[in-house]
């Protein structure tokens, strides 16, 4: 466990050798280090075994971060580790953050502001959705393609509204710890688990939507 008691957010980071370069992993971690709002813990799960050391940058998060290294790779797109993160989370809200993601420095601050907002009515949902830039995306209006080598030149904005598959990514939906437990954690192990689960969550509980782009998925 981290030594942060009752943080506002738990950020769950699944990672394994070969998924991304160490440079991208460090870039994602740096975006967490740079958050204006520091009321969070970070749970990193390396889906082992390790063929090279996990970059030491995570230690700059100090006692708010914990690294867990597993002995056997599960090969399920990190979903088993997301579920483990939910079970071990101390935060009020859970953020699912892939190591090639970026959160802009004001992202968590904006999410908290949205939680506190009384406009247009004083109902605060346990789900907050933020727009992000999805790198490497192209579409012809009927089909959607993603290739990482396109990341520098092609991108689309995923708003998460409406909350449907191919319009929302794992990092966009921030949900309360309570609701994750209600649904039994990250129960879907398919590749597009977020696109399968998130529409149901929003349909049954509603959501608040941030109006600023708060991050990027590479």
Residue 55's CB is within 10 A of a number of other CB atoms, namely 15
pTM for the whole structure: 0.95
Instruction: Tell me the domain boundaries of the chain.
Output: 9-217
| Sequence-separated (6 or more) residues with CB below 8 Å from residue 143 | none
What is the C-alpha R_g of the chain?
16
Long-range Cβ contact pairs of 70-76 (< 8 A, separation 24 or more) = 70/45, 70/46, 72/48, 73/16, 73/47, 73/48, 73/49, 74/47, 76/189
If you average pLDDT over residues 168-193, what whole number do you get? Answer: 97
Task: Give the pLDDT confidence of 132-147 residue by residue, as tens digits.
Answer: 999 999 999 888 999 9
Residue range 9-217 forms a domain whose CATH class is alpha beta
If you average pLDDT over residues 74-98, what whole number do you get? Answer: 96
If you average pLDDT over residues 164-179, what whole number do you get? Answer: 96
Reported confidence tier of residue 117, pLDDT bands at 50, 70, 90 = confident
Reported confidence tier of residue 119, pLDDT bands at 50, 70, 90 = confident
Reported confidence tier of residue 1, pLDDT bands at 50, 70, 90 = low
If you average pLDDT over residues 49-53, what whole number do you get? Answer: 87
Closest to 151 in 3D by CA, of 20, 18, 12: 20
Collapsing DSSP states into helix, strand and coil, what is residue 208?
strand
Task: Give the pLDDT confidence of 181-214 residue by residue, as tens digits.
Answer: 999 999 999 999 999 999 999 999 999 999 999 9
**Tokens 């230690």 sit at which residue?**
59
Burial 202-216 (b: 16+ CB within 10 A, else e): beeeebbbbeebbbb
Please tell me the predicted confidence (pLDDT) of residue 123. Answer: 63
Please tell me the predicted confidence (pLDDT) of residue 122. Answer: 59
Torsion sign (Cα): 8, 32, 210, 127: negative
């Amino acid at each position: 466990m981290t030594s942060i008691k009752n943080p506002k957010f738990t950020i769950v980071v699944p990672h394994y050798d070969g998924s991304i370069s160490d440079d991208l992993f460090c870039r994602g971690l740096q975006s967490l280090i740079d958050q204006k709002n520091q009321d969070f813990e970070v749970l990193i799960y390396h889906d082992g075994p390790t063929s090279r050391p996990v970059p030491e940058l995570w230690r700059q998060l100090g006692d708010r971060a914990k690294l867990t290294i597993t002995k056997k790779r599960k090969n399920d797109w990190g979903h088993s580790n997301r579920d483990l993160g939910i079970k071990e989370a101390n935060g009020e809200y859970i953020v699912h953050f892939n190591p090639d993601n970026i959160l802009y420095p004001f992202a968590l601050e904006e999410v908290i502001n949205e939680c506190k907002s009384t406009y247009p009515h004083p109902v605060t949902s346990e789900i907050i959705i933020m727009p992000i830039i999805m790198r490497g995306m192209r579409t012809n209006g009927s089909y959607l393609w993603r290739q990482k080598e396109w990341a520098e030149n092609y991108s689309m904005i995923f708003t998460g509204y409406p909350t449907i598959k191919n319009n929302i990514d794992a990092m966009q939906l921030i949900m309360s710890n309570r609701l994750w437990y209600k649904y039994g954690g990250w129960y879907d192990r398919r590749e597009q688990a977020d696109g399968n689960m998130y529409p149901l969550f929003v349909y049954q509980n509603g959501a608040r939507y941030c109006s600023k782009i708060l991050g990027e998925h590479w």
